[in-house]
Amino acid sequence: MRRIAPLLVCLLALLAATSTVSQAVGFHAVHSKDGTHVWAVGDSGAIFRSYDSGITYVKNNLGTAPLRGVAHRQLVPLIVGDGGVVWRSTNNGGTFASQVASASDLNAVSMPTDLVAIAVGDAGTILRSTDAGASWNAQVSGSGANLFGVAFTNADDGWAVGASGTLLRTTNGGASWNPVALGSTAELLSVAQHGSRVWAVGRGATAFKSTDSGANWNAVNLRTDARPDVRAVALDATRVILGGGGGFVRSSVDDGTTWTFPIHSLHGQVSGIGIAGGKTFAASNVYNVVLRDSSATNWVMQRGGGVTRTWLKMHNLSNGFRGLTMDYNYLNPNIIYVMSLNSVRYSPNRGETWSTIATTTLSSDPNAFIVSDRDTNTFIAAVSLDAGGRGVIRSTDRGATWSTTHAHEFGTYGIPLEQHPDRPDTLIFGGDDDVLQISTDRGATWSDYGTQVFRSPCDIIVLPDSNDVWQVGDGITGSGIGELFRSTNNGLNFSLRQNANGSEVPGMSTSRLRKERTYASTWSAAGARATSDGGNTWPTISALAGYGSSWGTDVAKDDPNVVVIGQYSGGSSRFSLDGGISYQSIPLNGTNYSFLMVDRATIFAQQSDSLFKMRFNYNYTPATTQSLTVASPNGGESLARGAVVAINWNSTNIGLARVEWRENNASSWQLISEVPGYLGTFAWTVPDVPTTQAQVRVLDAWDSAPQDESNATFTILAPRMVVTPGNLSFGSHAAGNTALLPVTVQSTGTVALIVTSVSTGTAAFTEGRISLTIAPAASDSIGVTFRPTAGQGYVDSLTIVSDAGTVKVPLDGTGTASGALTVLAPGAAQTWKYGTTHPITWLASGITQVGIDYRTAPNLPWELIADNIDATLGTFDWVIPNAQTTTGAVRVRDMGGSITDVSEDDLAITVPGFNGLPTPLDLGAVEINTAASGAFLIANPGTAFLGVLGVASDNPRFVPHRTTFAVTEGDDDTLGVTYNAPGAAGADSATITVTTDDPAGSHTLKVLAQAQALVAVGDPNPVAFALRPNLPNPFSRSTSIRYALPTRASVRLEVFDLQGHRIATLVDTQQEAGEYAVSFGPGAANRGSSMGRIAAGVYFYRLTAGTFRDTRRMLVLP
């Protein structure tokens, strides 16, 4: 079905234009991202958008300020303009939001990637965005010039151009910009790059190119006479295209060596060119016209657009001239001059207004007027002299004063004076019945030139860029036949090449841009002639065969396709856009004498008493309706799930299309994608949803109208599988027996369900089928058999693999068994030591696998020893853990059932312990080069004997007395250490490592000593109070306690046990200064020190002398 709706009126003042656009404001930029979606933006916020490669356009507005640049990627167009405004859309132009990104006007924008955009503007403004234009950051351009053009080939490499010959380059995304010197101050207006080719163009026919990515630049001579502005340049892989002037477009496929000029109907300056998708577009800043290249040689306006051309009288000339008395200022083609009677008139605005700037008393009735290209203050004219006769007058002060420089008769109706196109100092004059005369000083002096005598030269042509080829049209009004002459040696000699139809050849024209072609009018016969070989042959122009009394002619200086020929009488002109192949008749009042075409848009006709200028009126009615029709799928199709199918539609003026689908009428529409509507297609991956009621819908994503959907439903071919029940529970069955249960498989899709695999994971469950095919809406079953082999639980899943996916059905069942199980070891009242290995043994029948556990008390949980042990082995070696108990037990259980057996609860697990004292063991002061001994007390607080497996010292001066021994549970023993004091005094220590069979496995003990030269006992002069270490320590019979007194003092020496009880007072008296020794122990020799039997253990002895007090420790051995 077909839907049509009024064109969307977008948000933010996007006002649709529904009336005809005529003589409207123009465009400043044109852009296309793909050759189909085209944007043209311009004055008063105008926007033209095309969705059909520029064939038709929709008109909108964004505000009222001029818009000067546009870029577009994905669904994001960016538009910049005056006031520093940036307009941005994220839905392909449906709605726009604006932001003022700069205080300066913005003139151009480039978008090299989906996220990076760069805008340039006045006062050296450069902005960069890295979020597709959502925000902008100013960059330092280093220039204050107004910037008019920007081009980036990627996110980093770019160019900007502007006033005063400014060319800037960046290779780091604009972080820094570097100026490039071109040697020109001309205003640069546009820049483009493709690969290593870069072009920059500007005012006054300025063009530069680089073929090495900008490393080197060369000026390009565009070979134009009126120096038109080049406002736009675009590149693709093979072409460079320029535009500007009065609407010229020129294209080159050899990077500017040669040029072609496409035929088109634009007569207004080209302001922008866009290339994309192999298509090219050109916009004008004078009219709402966008050209497109319908072929390599023809460009056309948007469909429905038209132009009318008329002549408008601009100035009265009082019938005071013949021939061509108009010229333009070479340095400023906006300035036009015309001479009539004895006055020179001037227009600063291409003929729109006029004023008289000079007069002469020397002449009247000019036939030719020239403004020197070398010095625009110099005027030269061929005139009727007031003193009589005819000749050449000259002014070097812009007409303020004149002088006659050459007197010579010439034809009344001809154009006898010509400026050399390549040597502007040289002028050529054709007088009656004479050879040509030449001046090489801008008309100041004259001399005869050449050998050919002409009757009355009407016009003279020197082919540009071919100085050796001259052409002369010769003839006398109403007398004989006009003749066309040609010279190939720079005018020295001529040969007659063609007799004209009439008596004279009043006008000739050619173009530097197509110099091989010259047009010649013929009076008074019908028609005109043209040469295409530099004047060698002059066939008649077939399209003008009936056109009588042709007179003036000219070719546009910026486009050789534009030709005009006038009629001396008859009131019409003939206008060609295709290089003189075909002509349009345009009424022109009065008698024609000549034409001046500065460019395609600036065309003057000199009539007998008036000056006319050609006017152009463009009319275009923008599109105002939208349409959308879904083409496919449109009903009745069968689409396989997963297939990539094209959804196709036909649309008109749909900027963004929303593509949707639904499963049936009761389902909601689901988004497939949003794509530019003009694409007309989307590759849809058909979803895995079986249905016979599917539809697709396409609608305008901006406002949902228009929209269209499939005329009828279509089918999505997809299988579906439903399996019931969701799980199978077989319950309990005796080992060796079988049970069978089914699952049902239903095919609920739109095609047959193909089951390719059915499987289980264990031998306890087996599937009845491994593959099957089920028609749509049918069902089938799969049997599952349960075969338990032991008394245990079984868990598995049934895996069904089909082209609709995989389904897993959980399976479970229990096997029951009648087997027996008996624990043999450990037996009653057994004791197993930690770290040793003992076998657990059992007897089993009817059981395949067993698990083994232990516990340390009847009320504590079981701890796992091992699982999944082959029951038939009957034994398992258990390494006894650190789990001290006297009420332990071991359990052996059936892994697949409930049969268990437990040993008696009197298994004892014994664990040795370790405790070493003292730590550290301090041997005290030991005289150098002597030895002292001490001992550690090693206690076993555990329940098993402690095996000392090794004793090691990390200091060879400390030597353990033994390396292995055993300590029974609850008992203790000693470990002696001897210290061999070295020959030097100082503190010393060692770490004694004891390796044991208790759970810790290793223990460290610390031993200390102080090697020193001791003061002898009785030394009368000790220097300080001191309590010495007892020697020996430890001891069993007796030890010597020594101390030093530097002065007389009250001395008390006492001994205490570990509980702090004083067991002996060895000294309690006043003593003189000196060194003393007291014996202590059962075998002590001094009186009062013998204690009889002393229990082994640790004791402390304390010395109090005056205010000095010190305590040390000693160990008594058994």
Indicate if 684 and 558 belong to the same structural domain: no
Residues 6+ apart with CB under 8 A from 50: 37, 38, 56, 57, 58, 290, 302
The one-character DSSP state at 872 is G
The pLDDT of residue 606? 95
Cβ atoms of 11 and 95 closer than 8 Å? yes
Tell me the residue range of the domain where 731 lies.
Answer: 721-816
Res 819 pLDDT > 80: no
Question: Does any domain span residue 116?
Answer: no
Neighbours of 1066 (CB within 10 A): 19
Cβ atoms of 66 and 47 closer than 8 Å? no
Average pLDDT for residues 778-789, to the nearest whole number?
A: 94
Res 393 pLDDT > 60: yes
- Rounded Cα distance, 391 and 402, in Å: 13
Indicate if 352 and 365 belong to the same structural domain: yes
- Rounded Cα distance, 595 and 326, in Å: 8
Indicate if 949 and 1044 belong to the same structural domain: no
Specify the pairing of strand 97-100 against strand 106-110: unpaired
Q: Which tokens in the block code for residue 786?
A: 């349960």
> Which of 76, 166, 154, 75 lies closest to 120, judged by CA?
166
The one-character DSSP state at 477 is T
Domain boundary among 596, 619, 642: 619
- Rounded Cα distance, 891 and 900, in Å: 7
- Rounded Cα distance, 404 and 362, in Å: 8
Specify the pairing of strand 126-129 against strand 137-139: antiparallel
Res 273 pLDDT > 60: yes
pLDDT tier, 502 (very low <50, low <70, confident <90, very high otherwise): confident
Res 42 pLDDT > 80: yes
The pLDDT of residue 1089? 45
The pLDDT of residue 1091? 56
Indicate if 935 and 1032 belong to the same structural domain: no
Neighbours of 514 (CB within 10 A): 18
The pLDDT of residue 904? 85
The one-character DSSP state at 171 is S
DSSP count for the chain of H helices, then E strands: 0, 99
Indicate if 546 and 606 belong to the same structural domain: yes
Q: How many domains does the chain have?
A: 6
Indicate if 484 and 589 belong to the same structural domain: yes
Res 449 pLDDT > 70: yes
Sign of the four-CA dihedral 957, 958, 962, 963: negative
Question: Does any domain span residue 47?
Answer: no
Indicate if 410 and 551 belong to the same structural domain: yes
Average pLDDT for residues 928-940, to the nearest whole number?
A: 84
CATH number at residue 778: 2.60.40.10
Q: Which tokens in the block code for residue 199?
A: 């072009």
C-alpha separations of 502 from 478, 526, 548, 552, 607 in Å: 8, 8, 10, 14, 21
Q: Which tokens in the block code for residue 181?
A: 């010197």
> Which of 398, 280, 396, 295 lies closest to 339, judged by CA?
398
Domain boundary among 995, 1011, 1027: 1011
The pLDDT of residue 1019? 53
Q: Which residues pair with residue 60 across a beta bridge?
A: 47
Question: Does any domain span residue 33?
Answer: no
Cβ atoms of 13 and 98 closer than 8 Å? no
Question: Does any domain span residue 35?
Answer: no
Cβ atoms of 564 and 576 closer than 8 Å? yes
pLDDT tier, 742 (very low <50, low <70, confident <90, very high otherwise): very high
Specify the pairing of strand 1002-1012 against strand 921-927: parallel
The pLDDT of residue 1016? 41
**Model pLDDT for residues 101-153, shown as the tens digit of each residue:** 999 999 999 999 999 999 999 999 999 999 999 999 999 999 999 999 999 99
| Residue with more model confidence, 16 or 1111 | 1111
**Model pLDDT for residues 823-842, shown as the tens digit of each residue:** 999 988 899 999 999 999 99
Q: Which tokens in the block code for residue 4?
A: 């049509």
Average pLDDT for residues 63-89, to the nearest whole number?
A: 97
Indicate if 938 and 995 belong to the same structural domain: yes
The pLDDT of residue 923? 81
Indicate if 456 and 391 belong to the same structural domain: yes
- Rounded Cα distance, 490 and 494, in Å: 9
Q: Which tokens in the block code for residue 890?
A: 């071991």
- Rounded Cα distance, 1107 and 910, in Å: 53
**Model pLDDT for residues 629-646, shown as the tens digit of each residue:** 999 999 999 999 999 999
Q: How many degrees, rounded to 5, is the angle at CA 332 between CA 331 and CA 337?
A: 105
Question: Does any domain span residue 443?
Answer: yes
Q: Which tokens in the block code for residue 1020?
A: 């009368």
> Which of 468, 472, 501, 494 lies closest to 484, judged by CA?
472
Distance separating the N- and C-terminal Cα atoms of the chain: 117
The pLDDT of residue 1015? 40
Question: Does any domain span residue 988?
Answer: yes
> Which of 94, 145, 91, 86 lies closest to 111, judged by CA?
86
Indicate if 743 and 692 belong to the same structural domain: no
The pLDDT of residue 18? 37
Indicate if 467 and 603 belong to the same structural domain: yes
The pLDDT of residue 859? 92
pTM of the model: 0.71
The pLDDT of residue 24? 52
pLDDT tier, 879 (very low <50, low <70, confident <90, very high otherwise): very high
- Rounded Cα distance, 195 and 211, in Å: 9
Specify the pairing of strand 248-252 against strand 270-276: unpaired
- Rounded Cα distance, 49 and 59, in Å: 7
pLDDT tier, 1020 (very low <50, low <70, confident <90, very high otherwise): low
Indicate if 1111 and 1025 belong to the same structural domain: yes
CATH number at residue 1084: 2.60.40.1930
SS3 543: helix
Neighbours of 919 (CB within 10 A): 14
> Of 153-162, 334-343, 887-896, which gets the smallest average pLDDT?
887-896
CATH number at residue 831: 2.60.40
Average pLDDT, the chain: 92
- Rounded Cα distance, 106 and 127, in Å: 9
- Rounded Cα distance, 559 and 508, in Å: 17
Most confident of 282-296, 922-936, 1075-1089: 282-296
- Rounded Cα distance, 381 and 370, in Å: 6
- Rounded Cα distance, 1040 and 975, in Å: 21
- The helix (H) or strand (E) run that includes residue 98 is strand 97-100
- Rounded Cα distance, 661 and 697, in Å: 6
Average pLDDT for residues 310-319, to the nearest whole number?
A: 90
DSSP string, 794-807: EEEEEEEEETTEEE
Residues 6+ apart with CB under 8 A from 548: 524, 525, 526, 527, 567, 570
Residue 989 one-letter amino acid = S
> Of 163-177, 562-576, 1071-1085, which gets the smallest average pLDDT?
1071-1085
DSSP string, 590-617: S-EEEEEEEETTEEEEEESSEEEEEEEE
Res 562 pLDDT > 50: yes
The pLDDT of residue 61? 94
Give the gyration radius of the chain's Cα atoms. Answer: 58
- Reduced to 3 DSSP states, what percent helix, strand and coil does the chain have, rounded to the nearest 5? 0, 55, 45
Token pair 């001395």 is at which residue? 1051
**Model pLDDT for residues 241-251, shown as the tens digit of each residue:** 999 999 999 99
- Rounded Cα distance, 339 and 347, in Å: 12
CATH number at residue 446: 2.130.10.10
Res 8 pLDDT > 90: no
Domain boundary among 855, 871, 901: 901
φ, ψ dihedrals at 269, nearest 5°:
-55, 130
Question: Does any domain span residue 1097?
Answer: yes
Question: Does any domain span residue 1075?
Answer: yes
SS3 725: coil
Res 2 pLDDT > 60: no
